[in-house]
Amino acid sequence: MPDVGEGLTEAEILKWYVRAGDTVTDGQVVCEVETAKAAVELPIPYDGVVHELVYAEGTTVDVGQVIISVAVGGDDTAEPVAAAPGAPEAAAPGQAEAAEETEEEAPKGRQPVLVGYGVAESSTKRRPRKTPPPAGDRARSASPVPPAQPSPAAPAPTASAPAAPASGLLPGQAAAPPVNGHGDRPGGPRPLAKPPVRKLAKDLGVDLAEITPTGAGGIITRDDVHAAAAPAEEPVPAESAVSGEAVAPEPSAAADPAARETRIPVKGVRKATAAAMVGSAFTAPHVTEFITLDVTRTMKLVGELKDDPDLAGLRVNPLLLIAKALLVAIRRNPGINASWDEERQEIVQKHYVNLGIAAATPRGLIVPNVKDAHDKTLPELADALGELVATAREGRTSPADMRGGTVTITNVGVFGIDTGTPILNPGEAAILAVGAIKLRPWVHKGKVKPRHVTTLGLSFDHRLVDGELGSRVLADTAAVLENPKRLITWA
C-alpha cells in the first residue's frame, strides 16, 4: 500500500479490478482505495501475472503492507514477487544470489510516481546479507530501494518506501530472521515496526523490544502490540492476524433479522470528517448570525441567465449567484478571508479566495473548493462549480481539490431546511449556510405579496472575526441577492 501523500497511514481497499491469474502490464490500474481524503486508483509497476490478492475488498490496510503479488516471469510458473501498486519495482529473482560480499551500489530501477508524489533517489550503498539462506528457500528478490542507513543487516521495509520485502516471500511463507535479530543500532537491537504501530505501542505503554514479531520479515504488527497489552484477551482470528491491524469483533446480531442495533464501522472520509469537525468545534469559538431576505430579483435573474446563449451548456442555479454575492462581500470585507495560526498566534490574511462547496456523497461529507474563485467571471465560475459537483457525485474528487480552502458555502436548502449553524471547515474563518428558497408572504412596496424568501446563516471564528466584520459580510451578501445589480455597481 503506497503512501499517497499528506502523511496518511492507512487506506481501505474499495475494489479490485484484477483477479489471481490475470495478466497485468506496467501502469495498469489494479485497484481503487479510499483514504481519509478521497478515493484513489492505484497502478501496478510490473508486467506479469497476478499471483495473489493478499487482502479482500473492504479491508483497511496500513501504508507499506503488501497487498498484491505478481509473477513477473510472464506465466504462473514464474517466481512471484510481493509488491504494493505504485511502489518501486522489485529486482528479478536470483539477483540476491549474485550479490558479492563487498558493498555495491543498489540497482536503479524505474521508480513510479503515484498521484503526483515522486520518489527521492539515494546514493546510499548496501551490503549483501552474509547469513546463508536456509536450504529449500526460494531465491530472494533484491529491493531497488536501499535502506536509510548502511548496515550489515537486511534492509527493513518502511512506510515511506513500500517496496517488496527483501526476502521476496509471500505472506505465510517462512522467512529467515534478519542479522542480529532486528538489525543493530547503538544501544541494542531495534524492533521493526511501522509508524502507526509504534504510535499504538506508545499509547498503550508497550515496549516494542519485548514483543515477539509475527509479521513477515520480523515486523511487529498491530495484533502483536494488542496481544502484549492484553495477553488475557482471546486470540485474533488467523485472517485478522495476516492483515496486521486491529479488527473489531463482528456483531453477533448481524445475522439476526430481528436485531435491534446495527454497528457501522467509521473509516475513510467519514472518519476524517468526524475528527475534523470535533477539532474545529472545540478549537475555534463559533459565532453564527442569520438574515432572512427577499431573493425574488435573484430568482428572476437566474431564469434569464438560463436562456442566455453565452451561458449555454453551463450549470446556472441560485447557488451560482449566491457564490458570486459572497465573493463580492469578501472583496468589500477582506478580513473575513483569513485563518488563525495557533503556533505563532497570528492572523493569516489570504489575498485569494478558494471557495469551498460542501457536498454530500455516498462516502460522506467532503468540501472541494474552486481555486482562485475571486478571479473568475460568472461563466468561468459556473463551469468550475458544475465540474466540482459532478466530480464529487462520482466519488472522483482528488485530495488536491480539497486542500487550501478559505471560505465555504453549505447549501442545506436543497433538503428543504430553512437554515442552520454550520461548523467551520478546519483552517477557515467563515462558512455560509444557505436555506431553502420558498414563496412566503412578504411586505413589498407597502403591500403583502408572495415573494421568494430565504434565510442565510454565517458562522465565523470569533478569534479573528469580530461581530462587526461578520455582520458586514452577511449584510453585503444579502444586499447583493436582494438587488443583483450590485454585482455590477459593487464589483
pLDDT at 338: 94
Most confidently modeled range among 21-25, 121-125, 239-243: 21-25
How far is Cα 123 from Cα 149, in angstroms, rounded to an integer?
11
Residue with cell 465560475: 381
CATH 3.30.559.10 positions along the chain are 270-489
Report phi then psi at 370, rounded to 5: -90, 115
Residue 390, pLDDT > 90, answer no
Amino acid at site 233: E
CATH homologous superfamily for 270-489? Chloramphenicol acetyltransferase-like domain (3.30.559.10)
Residue 434, pLDDT > 80, answer yes
Report phi then psi at 43, rounded to 5: -90, 160
Residues 6+ apart with CB under 8 A from 162: 1, 2, 3, 63, 64, 65, 84, 86, 87
Fold topology of 1-165: OB fold (Dihydrolipoamide Acetyltransferase, E2P) (2.40.50)
Q: How confident is the model at residue 485 (pLDDT cuts 50, 70, 90)?
A: very high
pLDDT at 230: 66
**Averaged pLDDT for residues 170-186:** 41
How far is Cα 161 from Cα 144, in angstroms, rounded to an integer?
10
CA distances (Å), origin 184, targets 149, 151, 152, 156, 218 = 11, 8, 9, 12, 14
pLDDT in tens, 194-240: 777 777 777 777 888 888 888 877 888 878 887 787 644 444 343 33
**Are 457 and 422 a contacting pair, CB within 8 Å?**
yes
Which residues have a catalytic role annotated? 462
DSSP-assigned states of every residue in 112-167: --BTTB-------EE----SPPPTTPPPPPPPSS--SS--SSPPPPBTTB----TT
More confident residue, 239 or 448: 448
How far is Cα 457 from Cα 290, in angstroms, rounded to an integer?
4
Most confidently modeled range among 152-161, 194-203, 366-375: 366-375
Residue 81, pLDDT > 70, answer no
Q: How confident is the model at residue 36 (pLDDT cuts 50, 70, 90)?
A: low
Q: How confident is the model at residue 6 (pLDDT cuts 50, 70, 90)?
A: low
Residue 42, pLDDT > 80, answer yes
pLDDT in tens, 255-280: 455 678 888 777 766 677 677 777 77
More confident residue, 174 or 418: 418
Residue 5, pLDDT > 70, answer no
Q: How confident is the model at residue 385 (pLDDT cuts 50, 70, 90)?
A: very high
How far is Cα 168 from Cα 82, in angstroms, rounded to an integer?
6
CATH 2.40.50.100 positions along the chain are 1-165
pLDDT at 459: 95
